[in-house]
A and B are shown apart, each in its own frame.
Chain A
Amino acid sequence: MKRILVGIKRVVDYNVRIRVKPDGSGVITDGVKMSINPFDEIALEEALRIKERGGAEEVVVATVGPADTQQQLRTALAMGADRALHVQADGVIEPLTAARALLKLVEKEQPLLVILGKQAIDDDNGQTGQVLAALWNRPQATYASKLELAEGTARVTREVDAGLETLEIDLPAVITTDLRLNEPRYVKLPDIMKAKKKPLETLTLAALGVEPRQQLRLVHYAPPPQRQKGVRVRDAAELVDALKKKGIL
């Protein structure tokens, strides 16, 4: 079966103002709104569109994380995913561990495509897709802003520093999404009801044979340095003068 696997990470919603705990042990997440990582919503949207065009038969979403993460999987099912896989894991999950777990799911599900976000907006690592592609020994096309599937290959336009790059890759492959790939659909209320009946399978890292290794110790969190308060000028002439005084012009 032509299948697409989509990685979902639960993160602090992008609208939340992040605050560091006074003792530096982390950021405040108590009572804070949690969401699907925005890049993963885009990944799921792309998978759903491919399926709707007849390019795939099934969209499976997967997450590696604690029990709470099932909320985001349910949202993904409500968006239109057919099935969800929850790999239960607590504590810090580094990209290498996430990628190893996803690789086991890839071996089980044999997808045509794996679509992940280009980065999770909490840790901003931006690694998991590339690590998975390396472990799987398959192509990667990161920062995708356009994706066209053909028989056995895909053409991917990537947002790179120089502009837009187009690659042709053999399938199966890993794609990571950039923001302009698409605009995710909204979840409708009836779909939330329907999603409750869709299959959600729970697995464990141990059952998959993945040892959760933490290679980087998270020593300390600090708020970023604040900029000095600036001045207000009244018009263009004052602005140009202020820049001259600073020696910039």
Chain B
Amino acid sequence: MSAKVLIVAEHDGRKLNPSTARCVSCARALAGAQIAIVVCAADSAAVAAEAAQLGGVTRVIAIDNPANAHALAAVLAPQVVAVAAPYSHVLGPSTTFGKDLMARVAGLLGAPQVSDIMAIESATRFKRPIYAGNAILTVEASGDGKVVGTVRTASFEAAGGGGSAAIEKAAVDVPLPTHTRFVSVSAAKTDRPDLQTAARVVSGGRALGSAEGFKILYSLADKLGAAVGASRAAVDAGYAPNEMQVGQTGKIIAPELYVAIGISGAIQHLTGIKDARTIVAINKDGEAPIFEVADIGLVGDLFQIVPEIEKLLG
């Protein structure tokens, strides 16, 4: 029996989030899988068209409903369940969108969920990190019944294009709750690359000392075309907004280049950057644990070094 995978698309109403293409790669690791994507939106046209082009996807199910204008797990979950019957696997990204939604889907289905899938061993065997990435656990589902999963996006490349899946509108007739209402979302406006998908990330810690202090990172990041991240200590102290936090309780990222500046390298932080190709650490304490994972380490005062690097970059 080959796997039939349903992927729940993450999007903002206009564009598909890159996390969905990474879920497609995860699904393709299931040998011979048939892959469908479900798009729940107020108006799915643009997003569904984008999803249909992902390589390996054979079917896009579009569910249009004004109630889907904002992604509310309690509203989306019953719709996903309504179209999930033919599928052996139901996957979503391990982003705040996917983590919030997929476990609710699993609850409605009474199915087990494998969180943060980092590797597929077979249709029923998966690898996932536990204890903040300090152990890798292999789990096995029985094979009778569905498996719900969230995909650790840093572990999979985004699937390319080249697909031409059929888009079907699904009329889903299930009662949707009104007990959960969207009020607002506030996000700091930025022209910098998105932290989760950026090839380069410059990240700052408590050592930056203030929101003002973070400005030297923004300046360096702009030179490098990098996104800016932060440790939890920096976010807690109000030096950087929460969406910049990297780590176990922030974002898990896999850039080509990660520059950790004034970050000690607590395990909760390191778990967010383990898949970075090259890690650079700048810290005045030569014993800081960040140097244990750094490919290139520089011991010194960041307030002196960072402007120097910027100058050298021209």
Contacts and interface: CB of A to CB of B under 8 A. Distances in A.
Do A and B come from the same complex? yes
Interface of A: 12, 14, 17-18, 20, 27, 94-96, 99, 118, 121-135, 137-143, 145, 155, 158-170, 173, 178-180, 215-224, 227-228, 230-240, 242-243, 246, 248-249
Nearest to A170: B179
B103 A230 contact: no
Contact of A134 (B107, B140, B282): B107
10 contacts: A124-B130, A127-B106, A129-B103, A130-B73, A130-B107, A141-B180, A161-B196, A217-B141, A233-B297, A236-B298
The 10 closest A-B pairs by CB, nearest first: A134-B107, A163-B187, A130-B103, A131-B107, A215-B112, A236-B308, A18-B134, A127-B103, A230-B295, A166-B183
B104 A134 contact: yes
B110 interface: yes
A161 B135 CA distance: 25
Contact of A138 (B106, B179, B256): B179
Contact of B133 (A14, A216, A224): A224
Contact of B187 (A129, A132, A162): A162
A243 B133 contact: no
Given A127-B115, A215-B145, 6 more contacts: A142-B99, A164-B186, A215-B112, A216-B112, A227-B295, A237-B308
A11 to B, nearest CB: 9
B107 A96 contact: yes
Given A166-B184, A230-B294, A236 B138 contact: no
A233 B298 contact: yes
Contact of A140 (B74, B187, B291, B300): B74
A126 B132 CA distance: 12
Nearest to B125: A219
Nearest to B245: A159
B75 to A, nearest CB: 10
Given A126-B99, A163-B241, A232-B298, A121 B139 contact: no
Interface of B: 72-74, 77, 95-97, 99-101, 103-108, 110-116, 125, 129-142, 145, 177, 179-188, 196, 232, 235-236, 241-243, 248-249, 251, 256-257, 267-268, 274, 278-280, 282, 291, 293-300, 305, 308-309, 312-313
B186 A163 contact: yes
Contacts of A223: 134-136
Contact of B137 (A140, A162, A180, A221): A221
B218 to A, nearest CB: 17
B243 A224 contact: no
A167 B12 CA distance: 17
Contacts of A219: 125, 138-140
Contacts of A158: 96
Contact of B112 (A94, A133, A231, A234): A94
Contacts of B196: 161
Nearest to B242: A159
Contacts of A129: 103
B173 to A, nearest CB: 18
A219 B126 CA distance: 10
Contacts of B236: 179-180
A233 B77 CA distance: 51
Contacts of A216: 112, 114, 139-141
Given A163-B242, A233-B297, A140 B97 contact: no
Given A145-B242, A216-B114, A243-B280, A160 B97 contact: yes
Contacts of A130: 73, 100-101, 103-104, 106-107
Contacts of A169: 179-181
Nearest to A162: B187
Contacts of B241: 163
B100 A142 contact: yes
Contacts of B132: 18, 121, 124
A111 B96 CA distance: 26
B113 to A, nearest CB: 5
Contacts of A128: 103
Nearest to B189: A163
Contact of A126 (B103, B134, B278): B103
Contacts of A218: 137-139
Nearest to B179: A170
B233 to A, nearest CB: 11
A232 B103 CA distance: 44
A117 to B, nearest CB: 11
B303 to A, nearest CB: 12
B131 A121 contact: yes
A97 B249 CA distance: 24
A230 B95 CA distance: 30
A64 B140 CA distance: 23
B107 A126 contact: no
Contacts of B107: 96, 99, 127, 130-135
